[in-house]
């Protein structure tokens, strides 16, 4: 009787073990998120760096500053050069005003001589003046007209020369302004701006250290939405499609599970060998296909946590 009980207990134990080994899920894997490594975009000392592992950072907030005093000094030099260009230009107004006054005097003299010519012509007709007096007045009028024409041409030349000279000087402003824009961009890159809303996973630098372009400062990931990377066998491939809703569960205590709803966001188009840490539904399959299930995180899901997929 005792042997029968022992044999029955052994059978029950083996049956329970078999049931325990029988999986009630279709695929399994580990959770991951899109991680971004934020790097320095400028060379210099880290004057401030407030990032701490575990911090939740908002997008576009400034989390640190790199010393860019040298670049700021270079920008100020170029800005001073641009300002000096205005002092090198010539104001044409004083010189033109003087020439125009000279022209006004010449025109006044011409008008006076034309009146004198008319008076002399009447005197010649009355034999009260000689023909030579009239010729002298005509010669003077001709001379004044030539002087007036020369003065007018002088005004045009002055305006043209001064405008050309000023344009030549101010043509230097455009490349200098480009240099200012370049320095402004370098100064802007001295601010460490967080690129996305997420949680800081790892910090690689400390305040006071020297930063160089491309040096990693910290790693951040948005874990509001997290992905379960799981593997399925070739026989299961026909059962899934992109966008399909599936159930995802994680351990909740010793015997219970916590279940989430997810969507298949990606399915690999190439097979690969079964990862050592992953067991598929068909353990005899050597090749599996990777897939990603997008799951809304309620705060309990962590990167690297084990999860199971039920199709």
In this prediction, residue 282 carries a pLDDT of: 52
Determine whether 166 is exposed, middle or buried from the number of CB atoms within 10 Å of its CB (0-12, 13-18, 19+): middle
Residue with tokens 């207990």: 9
Beta bridge partners of 261: 247
Q: What pTM was computed for the model? A: 0.63
In this prediction, residue 276 carries a pLDDT of: 60
Q: What angle do CA 218, 222, 228 make, to 5 degrees?
A: 115
Q: If you average pLDDT over residues 74-79, what whole number do you get?
A: 91
Average pLDDT, rounded, for the chain: 84
d(CA 84, CA 169): 10
* Torsion sign (Cα): 131, 137, 139, 142: negative
- Is 80 exceeded by the pLDDT of residue 89? no
- Is 50 exceeded by the pLDDT of residue 13? no
| 39 touches 216 (CB < 8 A) | yes
In this prediction, residue 189 carries a pLDDT of: 94
d(CA 281, CA 27): 7
Whole-number Cα distances in Å, 160 to 113, 165, 203:
32, 9, 64
DSSP string covering 211-228: E-TT-EEEEEE--SEEEE
pLDDT band at 113 (very low <50, low <70, confident <90, very high): confident
Q: What is the pLDDT of residues 218-256, one digit of tens each?
A: 999 999 999 999 998 888 888 899 999 999 999 987 778
pLDDT band at 165 (very low <50, low <70, confident <90, very high): confident
d(CA 270, CA 207): 45
- Is 80 exceeded by the pLDDT of residue 6? no
Q: If you average pLDDT over residues 80-98, what whole number do you get?
A: 79
């Amino acid at each position: 009787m005792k042997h029968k009980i022992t044999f029955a207990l052994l059978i029950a134990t083996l049956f329970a073990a078999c049931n325990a080994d029988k999986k009630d899920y279709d695929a399994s894997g580990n959770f991951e998120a899109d991680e971004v490594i934020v790097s320095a975009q400028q060379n210099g000392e880290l004057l401030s760096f407030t990032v701490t592992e575990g911090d939740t950072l908002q997008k576009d907030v400034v989390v640190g500053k790199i010393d860019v005093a040298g670049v700021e000094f270079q920008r100020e030099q170029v800005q001073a050069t641009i300002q000096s260009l205005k002092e090198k230009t010539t104001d044409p107004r004083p010189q033109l005003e003087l020439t125009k006054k000279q022209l006004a005097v010449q025109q006044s003299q011409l008008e006076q001589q034309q009146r004198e010519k008319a008076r002399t012509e009447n005197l010649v007709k009355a034999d009260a003046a000689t023909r030579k007096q009239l010729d002298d007045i005509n010669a003077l009028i001709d001379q004044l007209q030539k002087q007036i024409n020369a003065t007018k041409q002088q005004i045009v030349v002055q305006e043209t020369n001064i405008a050309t000279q000023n344009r030549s000087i101010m043509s230097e402003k455009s490349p200098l302004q480009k240099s200012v824009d370049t320095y402004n961009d370098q100064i802007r890159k001295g601010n460490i701006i967080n690129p996305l809303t997420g949680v800081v996973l790892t910090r690689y630098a400390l305040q006071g250290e020297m930063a160089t372009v491309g040096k990693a400062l910290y790693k951040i990931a948005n874990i509001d939405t997290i992905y379960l990377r799981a593997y399925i066998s070739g026989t299961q491939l026909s059962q899934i499609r992109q966008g399909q809703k599936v159930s995802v569960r994680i351990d909740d205590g010793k015997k219970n599970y916590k279940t989430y709803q997810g969507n298949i966001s990606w399915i690999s188009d190439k097979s690969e060998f079964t990862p050592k840490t992953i067991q598929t539904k068909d353990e005899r399959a050597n090749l599996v296909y990777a897939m990603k299930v997008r799951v809304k995180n309620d705060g309990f899901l962590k990167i690297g946590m084990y999860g199971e997929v039920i199709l």
